[in-house]
Structure 1
Amino acid sequence: MTQLGKTGEAIAKEHFELLGFEFVEQGFRYERAETDLIFKDDTKKIIIFVEVKTRRSKMFGEPEESVTERKMQQMIHSAQGFIMLNPKYDDYEKRFDIAAIMIENGKAKMNHIINCF
């Protein structure tokens, strides 16, 4: 992972924790699919699978525009693998979010897309 990617994931992790979600795992891999960050809220029985996209410029569009249909399918596959390996979350609501982060001139701006699909 690049330094930019690590920075983006750290920003997203802090954001979700400030929202009150408990961090579960980072970089979960299942077969060829990966989930960047996983959070939970045991009170609301929700588990959140987060894709983090970080960019330095909009030359190739907004960060969230790079989450393709294929990437969404990989997120679902990774989440299914996580639930299969962690059945205690089977009855939790599953949510997929995008943390789209733009870092320009040393300042980060995040667009948190809740329940992106």
Structure 2
Amino acid sequence: MPSNTIFIESRQDKTQLEIFVSSMHTKDEQQEAPGVIIAHPYGPLGGNMNNNVVIAIQHYFKSKEYVTICMNFRGCGKSKGRTSWTGMPEREDYMSVVDYALDESTLRSYPRINKMIFCI
């Protein structure tokens, strides 16, 4: 059951983003699996990937053998930067995580994601 905290760069402005990737299986055990990316509630009001709803969703999908990816938007948790007023940089942060999850060269020890659910 591999689980890792990873830092990636936002495609918007290279802001460092914290993500947590987890799966029930390694790539050796299972070549493909569905994936889910879980975002958290608004950061300035206390939202982050350690939110109880985010954790409950992550546990549910992991039990269904999904590759789960929880993320901290800019300014939350150990992600760098500041939360914006417009949400546009955060949208790019989310898309950066999508790009990362679907790039077969990045999550080498996890099953390849063959379909994706977005929890925003």
TM bin (shorter chain): 0.3 to 0.5
Higher helix share: 1
In the superposition, the TM-score normalised over structure 2's length comes to: 0.38
In the superposition, the TM-score normalised over structure 1's length comes to: 0.38
Higher strand share: 1
- Highest relative contact order (Cα 8 Å, sep 6+), 1 or 2? 2
